[in-house]
Structure 1
Amino acid sequence: MAIQIYTFKITYADCDNRIWRTAAVSSNYTLAELGYMVLATFDTMAYHLFEMKYRDTTYFLAEEDFEDLPYEEDEKCDLLKHYKIGKLGMNIGDTIEMIYDFGCEQVFNIELLEIGDMPRGYGRAYPKILDGAGRGIVDDMPAYELLEAIKKTDADGHSEIFYSSIGFDKVPEWNYRKYDINTDNCLLKGTIDRIRDGYEDCEHNI
């Protein structure tokens, strides 16, 4: 089958639709790679586990991730890296739920908007962020707290939250309004590679 482009609307749940992306990825992308892209574009530190739920199956990064979790014996579980997006049989409007950080449960809803043909010679152009709003999320902060910070920023221009996903000597004040799609796309592939290496190196060392 020819490679296709899957376009998703990715929304950070329970935050009043203030933080979202429209992203296009190759049908050859695995669910794991889709997850790395989400963590990259939403400016996370990518140091928590994550899982995805689609239809009646929960997908994890590694078998060790779900051996001790309280899932029902008859619940279907599988590995994120085993499934390419184009092999899931998704239909327009279908949604994948991604949960990052099982303790805080930061949730992303990933809705399929469109499936199109990959233009010849354009494979390296993807993944690509097509549109978006909101600088990203803050690790270890639930959505309802982040929404309060957004409302405070709208009201007086300051969130009083200091956060950086990559670390600085002087950490900047978080401002959800400062999202730059061009910078995001310039950094996206390199950030995805870094996140992939972090998760998969940890998996190999278990």
Structure 2
Amino acid sequence: MATQVYTFKITYADCDNRIWRTAAVSSNYTLAELGYMVLATFDTMAYHLFEMKYKNVTFSLIEEDFEDLLYDKDEAYDLMYSYKIGSRRLDLKVGDVIEMTYDLGCDQTFIIELLEISDMPRGHGHAYPKILDGAGRGIVDDVPAFELLEAIKKTDEDGHSEIYYSSSCSNNAPEWDYRNYRVDWDNALLKGIIERIRDGYENYEDDEY
């Protein structure tokens, strides 16, 4: 099957549609890689577990993650690495929604809706993943959506969120301002950040945690 481009609308849930992205990825991308891209473009520290749910299947990064899930006879479990976005097994169709939860204790949720499937332009495979549009600087780790929404409203009112955050774990973290998002800057850094996140999840050492 020829490689295609899948375009998704990714919205940070329960935050009044203030933080979102439209992103295009190759059909050869796995669900795990889609997850890494979400964590990268939404400026996370990428140090929590995440899972995806689609059509009554819960997808995790490693089999050990299944041990922490409550058993439900009506729900199946599988690995993100085993499914490419464009695979017939996954059978994604326009309008379908994947729910991704990052930080299972804080329940920071992303709604990933498939908007379009198109042919990959010849010779353009390296152009993806790519952020096409978006709003909102990103999320703040360990801060639930309802608190982040309050910080957004406070920023709108007086220009200050009173949240200091940096995904690079800087000691001099700047004040978080959701208005400070530029898609060109995001794309310039996106692939490098994805590779760092991939390495963190796939090549970590147990004794580091």
Contact 1:48 1:100 in 2 (8 A): yes
Q: Tell me how far apart the structure 2 counterparts of residues 78 and 129 of structure 1 sit (CA, whole Å).
A: 28
The answer for the alignment partner of 2:97 in structure 1 is 95
Residue deviations 1:156-196 (CA, integer Å, cap 9, x gap): 00000000001223110000000011110000000000000
1:80 aligns with 2:100: no
The answer for the alignment partner of 2:35 in structure 1 is 35
Contact 1:12 1:19 in 2 (8 A): yes
Question: TM-score with structure 1 length normalisation?
Answer: 0.97
The CA RMSD measured in Å over matched residues stands at 1.4
Residue deviations 1:84-131 (CA, integer Å, cap 9, x gap): 000121111100000000000000000000000000100000000000
The answer for the alignment partner of 1:192 in structure 2 is 194
Runs of 4+ in structure 1 off by over 3 angstroms are 203-206
Residue identity in the other structure for 1:76: A
Q: Tell me how far apart the structure 1 counterparts of residues 188 and 151 of structure 2 sit (CA, whole Å).
A: 27
Give me the identity figure in percent: 74
- Count of equivalent residues: 206
Aligned counterparts, 1:92-131, within 5 A: 92-131=94-133
Q: Tell me how far apart the structure 2 counterparts of residues 68 and 40 of structure 1 sit (CA, whole Å).
A: 25
Q: Which runs of 5+ in 2 are unaligned?
A: none
Q: Which runs of 5+ in 1 are unaligned?
A: none
Q: Which moved more, 1:143-152 or 1:86-95?
A: 86-95
Aligned counterparts, 1:1-206, within 5 A: 1-87=1-87, 88-202=90-204
Q: Tell me how far apart the structure 1 counterparts of residues 5 and 143 of structure 2 sit (CA, whole Å).
A: 33
Q: Tell me how far apart the structure 2 counterparts of residues 69 and 173 of structure 1 sit (CA, whole Å).
A: 36
Q: What is the CA distance between 1:140 and its match in structure 2?
A: 0.4
Indicate how the Cα distance of structure 1 residues 180 and 117 shifts in structure 2: closer, same or farther if over 3 A, else same: same
Question: TM-score with structure 2 length normalisation?
Answer: 0.96
Contact 1:51 1:98 in 2 (8 A): yes
Residue 59 of structure 2: SS of its match in structure 1? strand
Contact 1:62 1:203 in 2 (8 A): no
Q: What is the CA distance between 1:73 and its match in structure 2?
A: 4.2
Residue 52 of structure 1: SS of its match in structure 2? strand
Residue 68 of structure 2: SS of its match in structure 1? coil
Indicate how the Cα distance of structure 1 residues 177 and 3 shifts in structure 2: closer, same or farther if over 3 A, else same: same
